[in-house]
């Protein structure tokens, strides 16, 4: 089993307008911890820095400063090729993340071969069929030769999950994995992720802007606003007893079947006055500076 400790993560981008350069801070001193068998939901609106953190964790981006420490149970650091095997990502759009030219079998067999999880063609095909069955794509032998366009959105996302777990990943970064799926099948995909997590004791970072699914699927919620953590704690505590104005605004924006047509601006939350310099930590039961490390907050709790 593998754990991840993110400490004081910062990511700056340089923007150019003619000869002028400006700096955009997408992630501002973010700390969090992913442990086996638990899900941390990273919640925030578009542009808050969620996907940037995911890209850094999967090494698609390099941080400006801060550390990402990935270790096995015995404390051994995970690096290089082992890192890419241990930490995998499920992308938001299942169709865009799969090559339309290749079969479903190819998509799952490729990581098996790259990470040398199988040795022969027969062994590879056996594992591919096993992975398809694990994500409830049956009969597997009829699904394997199909192309991505021959599957539904939910089926394609299940293929993406199988592909992520194929190399033996123990840390799963799920970047809004159900936001592009029909509402009727979202719960099925989330329940599948939950089952796989329990079976393999996965450490999961669930990125979303939907508080309802965050509460359903996660153990802990971290709320991100303009690149900073403004509230964190157990899922129920953050949803049922929000303290930060931004978390309250997110809760008000969620649809309520009992109050159709509700307008969030009537709640009296002035968006322009929202401050992201402080963070309410439900574990410690107190307000902290936004850049206080998650590990320190847990120790004090």
Domain that holds residue 143: 2-300
Contacts of 239 (CB under 8 A, 6+ apart): 211, 214, 215, 221, 251
| CATH number of the domain residue 116 falls in | 3.40.50.300
- Nearest-angstrom CA–CA distance, 24 and 11: 9
Q: Please provide the size of the chain in residues.
A: 301
Count of structural domains within the chain: 1
217 CB-side CA count, 13 A: 32
Closest CA to 174 of 148, 203, 153: 203
Q: Provide the 10 A C-beta neighbour count for residue 272.
A: 4
Q: Per-residue confidence of the chain (301 residues) as pLDDT tens digits?
A: 899 999 999 999 999 888 899 999 999 999 999 999 999 999 999 889 999 999 999 999 999 999 999 999 888 999 888 998 999 999 998 889 899 999 999 999 999 999 999 999 999 999 999 999 999 999 999 999 999 999 999 999 999 999 999 999 999 999 999 988 888 899 999 999 999 999 999 999 999 988 888 998 999 999 999 999 999 999 999 999 999 999 998 888 776 666 655 554 445 567 778 888 999 999 999 998 876 544 444 444 4
H-only helix segments in the chain? 50-57, 80-86, 104-114, 121-134, 140-143, 153-165, 183-200, 211-217, 235-240, 245-253, 294-300
């Amino acid at each position: 089993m593998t754990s991840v400790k993110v400490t004081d993560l910062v990511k700056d981008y340089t923007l150019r307008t003619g000869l002028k350069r400006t700096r955009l801070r997408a992630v501002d001193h973010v700390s969090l911890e992913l442990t086996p068998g638990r899900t941390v939901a990273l919640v925030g609106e578009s542009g808050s820095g969620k996907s940037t953190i995911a890209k850094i964790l999967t090494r698609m981006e390099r941080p400006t400063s801060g550390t990402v420490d990935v270790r096995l149970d015995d404390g051994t650091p995970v690096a290089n090729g082992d890192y890419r095997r241990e930490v995998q990502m499920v992308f938001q759009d299942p169709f865009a993340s799969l090559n339309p030219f290749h079969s479903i079998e190819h998509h799952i067999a490729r990581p098996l071969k790259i990470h040398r999880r199988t040795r022969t063609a027969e062994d590879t095909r056996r594992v591919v069929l096993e992975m398809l069955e694990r994500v409830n794509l049956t009969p597997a032998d009829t699904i394997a030769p199909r192309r991505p366009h021959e599957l539904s959105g939910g089926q394609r996302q299940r293929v993406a999950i199988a592909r992520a777990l194929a190399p033996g990943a123990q840390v799963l970064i799920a970047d809004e994995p159900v936001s592009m799926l029909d509402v009727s099948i979202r719960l099925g995909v989330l329940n599948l992720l939950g089952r796989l997590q329990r079976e393999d004791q996965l450490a999961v970072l669930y990125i979303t802007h939907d508080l309802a699914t965050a509460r359903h699927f996660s153990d802990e919620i971290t709320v991100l606003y303009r690149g900073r953590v403004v509230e964190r704690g157990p899922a129920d505590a953050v949803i049922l007893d929000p303290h930060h104005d931004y978390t309250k605004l997110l809760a008000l924006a969620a649809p309520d079947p009992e109050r159709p047509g509700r307008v969030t601006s009537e709640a009296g939350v002035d968006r322009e006055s929202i401050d992201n310099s402080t963070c309410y930590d439900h574990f410690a039961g107190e307000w902290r500076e936004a850049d206080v490390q998650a590990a320190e907050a847990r120790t004090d709790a």
